[in-house]
C-alpha cells in the first residue's frame, strides 16, 4: 500500500531557497563537484532511476531519519507550505550522505544539514489549498501540517482518492493487467491474479517524470459547493470509496459524484459510483446526482434518469443547472439505493 509523506517545504525564506535550488529545476548529480561525494552503490542507484544524471532532490534532518526510513520508492510526497500543496511527487532513492547533502544545501549554523537525501522519481507542480484536505474524512480544519508527517493505511488512501492522485505504480499495474487480460483472451491462456505477481521496492522504476494529479473534478466540486446556500456539505468515506459531496439540507440527503468530462463514459462512471455509494450513506439518500462540467447528450441524461439520478451541469455562464430525474423513477429506485 502506498504511503503518503506530507513534507513541509516552502514555509519560510530559507526553505523556499532550497526549493528553488533543488526542486524547481533539479540538479546534476554526476560530474566532479557532486559525484565524488557519492559511493559507487549510490551512483548506481541514482543512475538507475535518473539515467540523465539529473534529478530533483529534497532532504530531511537527522531527527527525521526514522520517519523517512518508513518510506519506499514510489510513495507519494505532498510538498506543503503557506496553506497550499505546491507539488506532488514520488519518492525515488533515499540515502544518507552528509557530504553530498552539503553540496545541495548549505547547512544551518545552528541546526546543521539535511543528511537524509531523497530524489523524486516523478513530480508535478500543483496549487491545492489545505481546505481540500481538511474537507476529507479524518482530517481537521486548521491543521497546517507542521513538520514531516507519514500517513499510512486508510488516511493515505483517503488523501490519494480525495486529491485524485494516480501513482506511477497504479498506471503500470493497470497497463499490465490490460495487457495480460488481452493476451489471455486472444491466446486462450489463464489470467494470473495480480496478487501472484510479486514486485520489490528495489525494482521500482518510473518511466515518466510526472505523477497524475487530476484537478478538474476538485475545481468543479469547489465551484458547485460555493454556489450552495443553507446546506451542510462534506465528503463521506464508504467501503465503496470516497464520495465527492455528501449533502444534507432542507431537501434531505444527497450524494453527488463529479466527473471531469460529460461524455458517455463519464456518465456511466458516475452512475456506477453513485449506486455503489448510496447504500452506505448514514442517512438514507433522498437524491443521487451526477455533477458534470457541461450538459451531456440527451441519451446520457435519459440513462441517469432511468436510475432516478439527477444531472447537474455547469452552464456556459459559469452557473449550474439541474435536470431532475422523474419523481416516479426516483421513488422506484430509492429501494435499490438503500439496500
DSSP code at position 201: G
Q: How far apart are CA 231 and CA 262, in angstroms?
A: 26
Mean pLDDT of the chain: 88
Mean pLDDT for the stretch of residues 81-108: 95
Give the confidence band of 211 by pLDDT, cuts at 50, 70, 90: confident
For 292, what's the count of Cα atoms within 13 Å in the CB-facing half-sphere?
28
> So what's the pLDDT on residue 197?
37
Q: Percent of the chain, pLDDT > 90?
A: 74
- Name the pTM for this structure: 0.83
Mean pLDDT for the stretch of residues 29-34: 90
Q: Is the pLDDT of residue 92 over 70?
A: yes
According to the 3-state scheme, what is the secondary structure of 106-165?
Answer: CCECCCECCCEEEEEEEEEEEEEEHHHHHCCCCCCCCCCCCCCEEECHHHHHHHHHHCCE
Task: Name residues whose C-beta falls within 8 Å of residue 250's C-beta, 6 or more positions apart in sequence.
Answer: 230, 231
Number of other CB atoms surrounding residue 157 within 10 Å:
17
Q: Is the pLDDT of residue 90 over 60?
A: yes
Mean pLDDT for the stretch of residues 266-283: 95
Q: Is the pLDDT of residue 205 over 50?
A: no
143, 130 contact by CB (below 8 A): yes
Q: Is the pLDDT of residue 214 over 90?
A: no
Q: Is the pLDDT of residue 57 over 90?
A: yes
**pLDDT tens digit sequence for 127-147:** 999 999 999 999 999 999 988
Domains of the chain, CATH where assigned: 4-168 (3.10.590.10), 216-337 (3.40.1350.10)
**pLDDT tens digit sequence for 284-311:** 999 999 999 999 999 999 999 999 999 9
> So what's the pLDDT on residue 25?
86
Q: Is the pLDDT of residue 209 over 80?
A: no
**pLDDT tens digit sequence for 155-203:** 999 999 999 998 887 766 655 565 555 555 566 555 445 344 333 333 3
Q: Is the pLDDT of residue 251 over 60?
A: yes
> So what's the pLDDT on residue 187?
62
Q: How far apart are CA 92 and CA 100, in angstroms?
A: 16
> So what's the pLDDT on residue 32?
80
Q: Is 128 left (phi over 0), alpha (psi -120 to 50) or beta?
A: beta
> So what's the pLDDT on residue 249?
86
2, 169 contact by CB (below 8 A): yes
Helix axes 264-277, 298-306, angle to 10 degrees: 10
Amino acid at each position: 500500500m502506498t504511503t503518503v509523506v506530507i513534507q513541509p517545504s516552502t514555509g519560510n525564506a530559507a526553505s523556499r531557497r532550497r526549493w528553488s535550488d533543488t526542486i524547481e529545476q533539479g540538479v546534476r548529480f554526476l560530474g566532479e563537484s557532486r559525484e565524488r561525494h557519492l559511493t559507487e552503490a549510490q551512483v548506481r542507484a541514482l543512475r538507475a532511476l535518473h539515467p540523465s544524471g539529473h534529478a530533483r532532490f529534497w532532504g530531511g534532518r537527522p531527527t527525521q531519519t526514522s520517519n523517512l526510513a518508513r518510506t519506499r520508492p514510489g510513495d507519494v510526497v505532498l510538498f506543503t507550505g503557506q496553506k497550499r500543496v505546491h507539488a506532488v511527487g514520488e519518492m525515488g532513492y533515499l540515502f544518507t550522505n552528509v557530504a553530498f547533502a552539503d553540496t545541495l544545501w548549505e547547512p544551518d549554523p545552528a541546526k546543521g544539514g539535511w543528511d537524509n537525501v531523497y530524489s523524486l522519481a516523478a513530480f508535478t507542480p500543483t496549487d491545492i489549498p489545505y481546505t481540500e484536505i481538511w474537507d476529507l474524512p479524518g482530517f481537521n480544519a486548521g491543521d497546517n501540517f507542521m513538520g514531516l508527517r507519514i500517513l499510512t493505511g486508510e488516511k493515505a488512501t483517503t488523501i490519494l482518492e480525495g486529491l485524485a492522485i494516480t501513482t506511477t505504480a497504479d498506471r503500470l499495474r493497470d497497463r499490465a493487467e490490460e495487457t495480460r487480460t488481452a493476451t489471455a483472451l486472444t491466446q486462450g491462456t489463464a489470467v494470473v491474479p495480480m496478487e501472484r505477481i510479486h514486485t520489490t521496492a528495489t525494482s521500482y522504476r518510473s518511466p515518466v517524470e510526472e505523477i497524475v494529479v487530476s484537478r478538474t473534478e476538485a475545481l468543479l466540486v469547489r465551484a458547485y459547493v460555493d454556489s450552495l446556500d443553507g446546506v451542510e456539505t462534506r465528503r463521506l468515506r464508504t467501503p465503496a470509496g470516497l464520495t465527492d459531496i455528501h449533502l444534507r439540507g432542507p431537501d434531505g440527503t444527497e450524494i453527488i459524484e463529479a466527473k471531469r468530462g460529460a461524455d458517455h463514459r463519464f456518465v456511466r462512471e458516475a452512475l456506477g459510483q453513485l449506486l455503489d455509494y448510496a447504500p452506505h450513506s448514514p442517512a438514507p439518500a433522498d437524491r443521487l446526482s451526477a455533477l458534470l462540467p457541461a450538459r451531456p447528450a440527451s441519451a446520457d441524461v435519459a440513462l441517469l434518469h432511468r436510475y432516478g439520478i439527477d444531472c447537474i451541469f455547469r452552464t456556459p455562464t459559469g452557473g449550474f443547472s439541474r435536470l431532475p430525474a422523474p419523481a416516479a423513477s426516483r421513488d422506484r429506485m430509492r429501494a435499490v439505493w438503500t439496500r
